[in-house]
Structure 1
């Protein structure tokens, strides 16, 4: 059945092993982020079995952590909890990342109901301007109030970089995170077990011997999936970048003009497209569209193919220069970037096929 996302679990396990060994060598715990592939239990089970490579499982959605409840590894909810989901957060997350006292108070109430102490990590915004306390005074003004909550335990601090504002991690900005952790320990007598210095974009600091020694945790997703750090896109030695492959079926293949004919309006997504006149081209249509995949993420394995556009359920590729003569029912294969893995994994219309 197609379209099909092929997932090579041997290659993923290889990538995980290399990154886990790198972090362990530097005394850094690994929170394996599972959100890009929707915490697919087939993938997670294969990655965590046999070897002790992962310290935490981490995801942005509590629904995904709920699906991993049978795996005996501590689970972290990465996205700031919604008040409407605190009951499930207490049930299915061992640790949650937080930056709002009002939400932490609700977590405390829910934890008290089942006589549980819920662990939290305080998020600090170091300039990427997504989640976290941005003004230190606000953070410390709330710490004493949080300490007074009987069923909440502060276990760490964390930051997120590069995901929204594309701000790179550095010795300078991460030193602020370490400084906050040290003050929490000294002035508030809090045992800070986790100082989480970011995601796959922080890996280059290890390579350059610039990651502060007190940073003892990273949350890693893309580097495991694609074998690269995400600050500069540098490949990690020994890893694979093709553990995920999308295979699509040709449903039409005809010669047509390269520019649509008639008065131009907007497309199905409200955009007014611009077309380059390349004359008559051989245009193949694939049975997949924007509802299933981030079109910009498609990298054809046949380098003579060009993706030229898509609607919600059709993708059009120019096969004019290809040495392969595609027929109806033939398959065209793509490597994916992170957004492609994420969207293809999320779509119920894309079949998942596992290579063990």
Structure 2
């Protein structure tokens, strides 16, 4: 609580702990015959952090934003690089010039990429996506996917790498042996159609790691796209109930400076309507309590429930755009303006904080 001379708010990434986590996840996947592409978007593609991913055994790097690939290439971080958002047609030139492979689910876009590859005299790998229920990107009709694979195979300037799926990011669908087994069946159908084996059968992202850890991943799955599971093992512990004690769960630390400490009622006084975001919050009656404001807000981390104070006796009540409101009634020590509080950050909070221009991003070892 004595560190008040630095510029706040900040988010701190411990690169030594991150490297340990990356090696652990890569080794456990490798033991199941699964390669890992490290997804760097969870820290907004910062080259300092991406370099640790690349040094710790991932087969390549992936992100959803071509700008992040450009920044990492400019910093000399070796690829290969995979684009894990299906491309916008308007960014075809950037995708071909910057990425080595991309997810895809629309044949007009694949044809556009093929033509752009010809113009740039480059090749681009294509991972065709199947939608197995999460209802984000991907072919819903698996027969259509098989025919798209056959067409992609016949194109002159792109290479069909394999098939993949995303589960959990939108529809909250849990990866299971059954739905990933369905992806393996799609891969077999594609292979029968094109007459060769696929290099990649990409079984999703961090939410698929539980199947690796408990030994239930279908054997045909040989690739995962993992970011959160390396950065935030705490999410797998808290949300999936997994024993993640082999990982550091505190790679990221958010620090914010206290602005105000006062005793106030626990419920607003007056007619309650909506807050700054159009919601009507609920305020349980707990009497007059010690409260604190910290200089960080939803603009920086988006989700209050993704922050957990490390100091005992402090809890998050809510936030506005620029203020974090805390209950400090049970904090055993003195709390005053200028004190610095530390928070564990779940994936979404770290994602927003590392991308905020108002939050310093500090790397330590």
TM-score, normalised on structure 1? 0.95
Q: Which runs of 5+ in 2 are unaligned?
A: 1-6
Kindly report which structure 2 residues correspond to 1:88-167, keeping only aligned pairs within 5 A, or say none: 88-167=94-173
Q: CA deviation at 1:143?
A: 3.0
**Any idea what the Cα deviations from partners look like across 1:32-61, whole Å, max 9, x if unmatched?**
011110011111123333x5x110101111
Q: Which residue of 1 aligns with 2:298?
A: 290
**Any idea what the Cα deviations from partners look like across 1:215-269, whole Å, max 9, x if unmatched?**
1101111110122574714132421111101111001111111111222222111
Residues in 2 aligned to 1:332 and 1:92: alpha-carbon distance in whole angstroms: 40
Residues in 2 aligned to 1:228 and 1:75: alpha-carbon distance in whole angstroms: 26
Q: Which residue of 2 aligns with 1:20?
A: 26
Bigger mean CA offset, 243-252 vs 185-194: 185-194
The structure 1 residue matched to 2:335, chosen from 326, 329, 352, is 326
Residues in 1 aligned to 2:84 and 2:135: alpha-carbon distance in whole angstroms: 16
Q: Which residue of 1 aligns with 2:244?
A: 236
Residues in 1 aligned to 2:170 and 2:340: alpha-carbon distance in whole angstroms: 35
The structure 1 residue matched to 2:181, chosen from 142, 163, 175, is 175
Structure 1 pair 290/112, CA: closer, same or farther in 2 (3 Å)? same
Tell whether the 8 Å contact from 1:3 to 1:248 is kept in structure 2 after alignment: yes
Q: Which residue of 1 aligns with 2:4?
A: none
Matched residues, number: 354
Q: Which residue of 2 aligns with 1:47?
A: 53
**Any idea what the Cα deviations from partners look like across 1:69-126, whole Å, max 9, x if unmatched?**
2322211000110111111000111000000011111111211101222110000111
The structure 2 residue matched to 1:62, chosen from 66, 87, 98, is 66
1:280 aligns with 2:284: no
SS in 2 for 1:354: strand
Tell whether the 8 Å contact from 2:54 to 2:78 is kept in structure 1 after alignment: no
Q: Which residue of 2 aligns with 1:264?
A: 272
